[in-house]
Amino acid sequence: MSEPTLTEQSKVYWLHALTPLHIGVGFGLGFIDLPIMREKVTNWPMAPGSGIKGVLADHHHAATEESREKNPILRAAFGRSGNEHSNSGSLVFTDARIVCLPVRSLYGTFAWITSPLALDRLRRDLADAGTAAGLPQPLVALEEKILLPTEPATALKGTDQKVYLADLDLTAEPSVNVSTWADKLAGWLFPDEPAWKPEFRKRFGVVGENCFNFLCETATEVIPRVRIDPAQKTVQRGALWYEEYLPAETILAGLVWCDRVFGGDGATPTQLMKDYCSGTVRLQLGGKATVGKGRVRCIFGGNHAR
């Protein structure tokens, strides 16, 4: 029997932030003391695949060596350490890259904004997972415009045909191809929540690359934090810092696959993908969990017909 291809044993996974999300890189050099992780080349926000795999292992009670030793399927999926049989596990997660950034909007409260390049990179992952059928040709968005779905009407556009995002003033232009992307993304992101599909569609928009770069740098949340002196009940001297977060409603996506199994008492790639990379799970990702940050929906799939 031939080895399974990447397409046969891979899925797109989506991360939908339910609360602000902080995946940090330590201390920053600017005024933000604790910045979020970003790609080196694009400077766009991202979530490392290693962290997602670790959080998913914890969700399935595979966070300790003891639990993995007791269950060969968990051990095959998430790996083992400490002896000559150590391995990193059979499930492979790529980094989750930005798909849609939520941005404050004068009309419609907020918008889910993306760019042609972000969609083109997503298309490559969807093609590797075998779920890119029916997607339109690459989009071209001018910097002074925003491409919106066609009817039904968007929530973002005013009577003057303008869309006002944060500090940007953009001219709305309807696009059938953007409608297709909006429908596809809504189906993948909300397979079990039909009420959210039209909400996503009417808030979805595509802007030019320079606009998207600007928003990725300026539309994140920056929150001041303080430490209180327990005796004086006032801010401790020097204990003020600033943390950066991806805002709630941010959407990221990556690939997960399994092309070989290390041990596992006969477990197959298909079984591991079905057991640990199916459906929708709620996870806590990144830091600041004790102040309610980092709650995400992790949706495995990618096939609009699912």
Which pTM does this prediction carry? 0.90
Return the amino acid letter for 248: A
- More confident position, 101 or 67: 101
What burial class does residue 287 get, using C-beta atoms within 10 Å of its C-beta: 0-12 exposed, 13-18 middle, 19+ buried? middle
pLDDT of 304: 36
- Using CA atoms, how far residue 239 sits from 23, 33, 36, 225, in Å, is 21, 12, 20, 8
For residue 209, name the pLDDT band (cuts at 50, 70, 90): very high
Q: What average pLDDT does range 256-261 have in this prediction?
A: 88
pLDDT of 28: 65
- The residues facing 92 across adjacent strands are 257
- Answer whether residue 302 shows pLDDT above 60: no
- Answer whether residue 43 shows pLDDT above 60: yes
- More confident position, 151 or 135: 135
For residue 289, name the pLDDT band (cuts at 50, 70, 90): confident
Q: What average pLDDT does range 103-123 have in this prediction?
A: 96
Q: What average pLDDT does range 115-124 have in this prediction?
A: 96
For residue 147, name the pLDDT band (cuts at 50, 70, 90): very high
b vs e for 130-155, b when ≥16 Cβ sit within 10 Å of the residue's Cβ? bbbeebeeebebeeebbbbbeeeebb
pLDDT of 74: 86
Q: What average pLDDT does range 255-284 have in this prediction?
A: 88
b vs e for 223-239, b when ≥16 Cβ sit within 10 Å of the residue's Cβ? beeeeeeeeeeeeeeee
Q: What average pLDDT does range 283-304 have in this prediction?
A: 85
pLDDT of 6: 56
